[in-house]
Amino acid sequence: MSQLFTPLQLGNLSLSNRIIIAPMCQYSAEQGKATPWHRIHLGHLSLSGAGLLIIEATAVEPAGRITPQDLGLWNDETEQALAQTIADVKRYATMPLGIQLGHAGRKASTDVPWRGGGFLTPQQGGWQTSAPSALPYSDKDGKPLALSKARIEEIKQAFIDSAIRADRLGFELVEIHAAHGYLLHQFLSPLSNQRDDEYGGSLENRMRLVMEIYHEVRRVFPRDKAVGVRISASDWVEGGWDEAQSIALSKALEEAGCDYIHVSSGGLSPQQQINVGPNYQVPFAAGIKEAVTAMPVIAVGLITEPQQAESILTSGQADAIALARAMLYDPRWPWHAAAALGEKVQAPPQYWRCEPHEVKGLFNV
C-alpha cells in the first residue's frame, strides 16, 4: 500500500489519506461574508478524494483581512453566511473540513492579486494597518501602527471568538496562520519585530504571541477536533526568521500538545531570495520532522506529481503532503494519484460511472 493513501491521525482527527488541500485565498467575500463562489469552490474540492480540506485564510477581525474581499469569521453575519456554505458542502461530502484563522497585520489593506495586489489607502477602500512594530512591508505601503498591549489582547480574543464560531460551524480542525509574512509571522521574525517588551527581543519573547494564541484556541476548541499551526520556516533573508528558530517553535508547540505543524516559507520581506523548484520547501519539513518526536509534519511547495508526493513520505521527510495551486489546476488530483499508485479513493456515487476502464476498482464503492 502506498504511504500517500494510508490513514493519518492529527490529534483525535482521523484522515483517510495523507493528501491535504492547503488553504487558498479566493478574494471573493463580501464584507467578510461567504458568497456563492465559496459554495462552488469548496464543493468541488470537497469531492476530490483528499484526506482533508482546509479552507482559506479567514480573518478574525475586519482589520485583519489581506484584501477587502477576504473571508471573515468575526460576527454573527459572517458566521451565518459561512454556515450556509458549509452545510451545503457537508450534505454531500464526507471529507473533514478545517479552517485557517489569521490576521494580516502590516500586509493587510491590499488590492486583489489580479489587480496587482498593491497597498490600498483609506481613500481607495483600505484601512490603517497594524504590526508588532511600526515598520511597513515595503516602502510602497502605508506605515502600520505598532500594536499596543491592549490591541494585542483584542486580537487574541478575536482568535478565541473565531475558533468558537468555527466549532459551531462544524469544522473539525483549526489551523493558526503564523506564516507568509502575516501578523503572527511578523511577531516571530526579528526583521519585523523590534519591540522592547515581553513580545519582542529574545526568541522566547517573539514566540510568545503564537504560543498564547495556540493555547487559547486549544482551550476553547473541542479536544476531539484538531488544532495545528502553519509557519514559514525561513524568511529567506539574512538575519531573519530561519530554520533553527522554526525548530525551536515546533518543539515548543509539540510540548504544548499541538496536533500538527504545516511547513511553508517566505512572505515576510520583499528582499527574500528563494530558489523555487520542485520540493523546494520540503527540506524545512524534513528538518523539523527530525527534531520533533511525534507531532505530524505537513510538507508543501511545488509538489505536483503522485510519485513525488509518495517519495517524500516514504523517505520520512514528512507525514502528509499539502497541495494548493496543484489542486486548483487539477481538482481531481487525488483520483489521478490513486490511479497512478494503484490505490482506491473516495468519490461520490454520482461520479462512480466515470471510472476509466484501465483502472477498474479505483473508487471505494
- Joined together, the cell numbers standing for residue 276 give 523555487
Residue pLDDT, tens place only, 213-228? 999 999 999 999 999 9
226 domain-assigned: yes
Average pLDDT, the chain: 97
- Given a cut of 90, whether residue 11 has pLDDT beyond it is yes
Q: What mean pLDDT comes out for the span 236-256?
A: 98
**pLDDT attached to residue 165:** 98
Q: Which H or E element spans position 150?
A: helix 149-169
Half-sphere exposure of 176 (CA within 13 A, CB side): 30
Q: What mean pLDDT comes out for the span 260-278?
A: 95
- Given a cut of 90, whether residue 1 has pLDDT beyond it is no
Judge whether 214 counts as a catalytic residue. no
pLDDT bracket for residue 295 (50, 70, 90) = very high
70 domain-assigned: yes
60 domain-assigned: yes
**pLDDT attached to residue 299:** 98
Q: How far apart (Å, rounded) are the C-alpha atoms in residues 356 and 365? A: 15
**pLDDT attached to residue 70:** 98
Q: How far apart (Å, rounded) are the C-alpha atoms in residues 127 and 117? A: 15
306 domain-assigned: yes
**pLDDT attached to residue 194:** 98
- Given a cut of 80, whether residue 183 has pLDDT beyond it is yes
**259 exposure class (CB count in 10 Å sphere: 0-12, 13-18, 19+):** buried
Q: What mean pLDDT comes out for the span 269-274?
A: 94
Q: Domain of 63: which CATH number?
A: 3.20.20.70
Q: Which H or E element spans position 90?
A: helix 76-92
66 domain-assigned: yes
For residues 178 and 103, is the Cβ–Cβ distance under 8 A?
no
250 domain-assigned: yes
- Given a cut of 80, whether residue 365 has pLDDT beyond it is no
7 domain-assigned: yes
Domain of residue 77: give its range: 3-351
Number of domains forming the structure of the chain:
1
pLDDT bracket for residue 275 (50, 70, 90) = confident
**Catalytic residue, candidates 27, 137, 182, 260:** 182
**pLDDT attached to residue 67:** 98
361 domain-assigned: no
Q: What mean pLDDT comes out for the span 279-287?
A: 97
For residues 156 and 216, is the Cβ–Cβ distance under 8 A?
yes
Q: What percent of the chain has pLDDT over 70?
A: 100
Q: How far apart (Å, rounded) are the C-alpha atoms in residues 12 and 69? A: 33
